[in-house]
C-alpha cells in the first residue's frame, strides 16, 4: 500500500513539474510577444515623429519659393513614411493579436497547473487520512493485544 502511494505521489509530482514547465514556457512566449508589441509601438511612434517633423519643415517652406525637386522629394518621402506607417500599424495589430493569443495560452496553462495542484492537494489529504486511520487501527490492535496479555497474565496469577 505504501509503495503504491509513493508511486502515485511521484507521478503526481512529475505531472505538476511538467505543468509548471508549460506555464513557464507560456510566460516566456507571452513576454516575447509583449516585447515585440513594444518594439512595434516604438517604431510606429518614430515614424509618426518623422511625419510630424516633415510636416513642420514643409509648413516653414510654405510661403517661400522652393525648388520643385525638393518638393517632389518631400512628397515621395511623405508617401514612403505613410506606407511604412501603414505597414507598422498592420504589424502592431498582428503583434497585439499574437500577444493576446499568448496571454490566453498562459492563462489556460496556469488554470491546468492549478487543477493539478488542487487534485494533488486533495489526493495528499486523502492519503494522510488513510495513513492516520491505518496508524490508529494499528495502535488499537497493539493496545488490544497488550490488554489481552495483561488479562491472561492476571488470570494465570490468580
> What secondary structure does DSSP assign to the chain, as a single string?
-HHHHHHHHHHHHHHHHHHHHHHHHHHHHHHHHHHHHHHHHHHHHHHHHHHHHHHHHHHHTTTS---HHHHHHHHHHHHHHHHHHHHHHHHHHHHHHHHHHHHHHHHHHHHHHHHHHHHHHHHHHHHHHHHHHHHHHHHHHHHHHHHHHHHHHHHHH-
Q: Say if CB 44 and CB 88 are below 8 A apart.
A: yes
Residues of the chain with pLDDT under 70: 1-2, 157-158
Q: What is the pLDDT of residue 74?
A: 83
Q: What is the pLDDT of residue 1?
A: 57
Q: What is the pLDDT of residue 71?
A: 75
Q: What is the pLDDT of residue 104?
A: 96
pTM over 0.75: no
Query: What's the first-to-final CA gap in the chain, in angstroms?
Result: 43
Q: What is the pLDDT of residue 3?
A: 73
Mean pLDDT, the chain, integer: 87
20 Cβ partners below 8 Å, 6+ apart? 113
Q: What is the CATH code of the structural domain delimited by 2-157?
A: 1.10.287.1700
Q: What is the pLDDT of residue 2?
A: 62
Q: What is the pLDDT of residue 95?
A: 95
Amino acid at each position: 500500500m505504501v509503495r503504491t502511494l509513493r508511486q502515485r505521489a511521484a507521478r503526481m509530482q512529475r505531472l505538476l513539474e511538467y505543468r509548471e514547465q508549460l506555464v513557464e514556457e507560456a510566460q516566456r512566449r507571452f513576454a516575447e510577444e509583449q516585447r515585440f508589441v513594444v518594439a512595434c509601438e516604438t517604431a510606429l511612434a518614430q515614424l509618426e515623429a518623422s511625419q510630424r517633423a516633415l510636416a513642420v519643415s514643409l509648413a516653414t517652406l510654405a510661403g517661400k519659393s522652393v525648388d520643385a525637386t525638393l518638393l517632389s522629394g518631400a512628397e515621395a518621402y511623405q508617401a514612403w513614411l505613410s506606407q511604412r506607417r501603414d505597414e507598422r500599424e498592420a504589424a502592431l495589430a498582428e503583434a497585439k493579436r499574437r500577444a493576446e493569443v499568448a496571454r490566453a495560452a498562459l492563462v489556460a496553462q496556469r488554470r491546468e497547473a492549478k487543477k493539478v495542484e488542487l487534485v494533488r492537494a486533495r489526493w495528499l489529504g486523502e492519503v494522510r487520512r488513510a495513513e492516520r486511520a491505518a496508524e490508529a487501527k494499528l495502535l488499537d490492535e497493539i493496545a488490544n493485544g497488550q490488554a489481552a496479555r495483561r488479562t491472561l497474565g492476571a488470570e494465570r496469577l490468580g
